[in-house]
Chain A
Amino acid sequence: EIVLTQSPGTLSLSPGERATLSCRASQSVSSSYLAWYQQKPGQAPRLLIYGASSRATGIPDRFSGSGSGTDFTLTISRLEPEDFAVYYCQQYGSSRYTFGQGTKLEIK
C-alpha cells in the first residue's frame, strides 16, 4: 500500500498570503494518478487538481499543483477567505486508491 503523508498538519495563514501544501508518497506515484481535493465542514470533497497539475473545471487559477515521483505540492497563490478548508491528496496505485491524512488550512 502506498502511504501518502501530508504536511504540515495545520497551516495558519492570512488572506492574501501564499499557501504551500506538501504530499509525500511512501513510494513513487505516477503523476497521472495524483489528485488534490478541498473539503469544507459538512461538505463532500471537491476535486481541485488531477494528473498532479491539471485544474478541474471551474477551479480558479490561484490553485496549482506540481511534483513527481514521491513529492507533490499544492500551491494557492493568494488566499481568499473561501480557501480556508482541509485539503487532501489522493493517489491510485497497486489497484487501490489512498488518501493523505489532510492539511487543515486555517485563518491566522
Chain B
Amino acid sequence: QLQLQESGPGLLKPSETLSLTCTVSGGSISSNSYYWGWIRQPPGKGLEWIGTIYYSGSTYYNPSLKSRVTISVDTSKNQFSLKLSSVTAADTAVYYCARRSSVAGTLYFDYWGQGTLVTVSS
C-alpha cells in the first residue's frame, strides 16, 4: 500500500523559508506513471494546489505562488520536497503531499499524506 508522509518544521517566523519533505513508501517515486504534488489548506478553508513534479525533475507551479516556490525530487531517497520562501501569516496551513495519477487521460490525486500543519507567527 502506497504511503506518503510529510515532515518538516511546524513553526516559522515571517520572512523565513518553509521546507517540507514528503517520503514515499510502498512504491517508487520514479514510476513514469505518476506526478507528485503539494497542496495546502489554511485552517477552516479550502484546498490550494501549490505545484507538481515528475521524477525527472519537471515541475509545474501555481502561478500565484510561482515566484516563491521550489519543488525538487530525490529519487535515491524516494522523496520530494517543497520550499516556499518569504512566508507570511497567510502561508499558515496544513500542507499535504499527494500522488497525481492519470488513467486514460484523466488526472487526479489519489494518494495523500496525512498533512502537516505549518504555522507562521512572530
Q: What residues make up the interface of A, taking CB atoms closer than 8 Å to B?
A: 1, 32-33, 35, 37, 43-47, 50-51, 54, 56, 88, 90, 92, 95-102
Contacts and interface: CB of A to CB of B under 8 A. Distances in A.
Contacts of A90: 47, 108-109
B46 A88 contact: yes
B46 A35 contact: no
Interface in B108-122: 108-110, 112-115
Q: What are the 9 closest A-B residue pairs judged by CB atoms, nearest first?
A: A44-B112, A51-B106, A50-B108, A97-B49, A35-B108, A99-B47, A92-B107, A32-B105, A32-B106
B66 to A, nearest CB: 10
A107 B42 CA distance: 24
A96 B62 contact: yes
Output the residue of B63, B98, B108 with the most chain A CB within 10 A.
Answer: B108
A1 to B, nearest CB: 8
Given A88-B47, A97-B49, A99-B49, A47 B109 contact: yes
A51 B113 CA distance: 22
A102 B45 CA distance: 9
A100 B47 CA distance: 8
Output the residue of B47, B52, B62, B112 with the most chain A CB within 10 A.
Answer: B47
B48 interface: yes
B49 A96 contact: yes
Contacts of A96: 49, 60, 62-63
B104 interface: yes
A51 B114 CA distance: 24
A33 B106 contact: yes
A50 B103 contact: yes
8 contacts: A1-B63, A35-B106, A51-B105, A51-B108, A54-B106, A90-B47, A96-B49, A99-B48
A92 B62 CA distance: 12
Contacts of B114: 43-44
A98 B106 contact: no
Output the residue of B46, B52, B105, B113 with the most chain A CB within 10 A.
Answer: B46
A51 B104 contact: yes
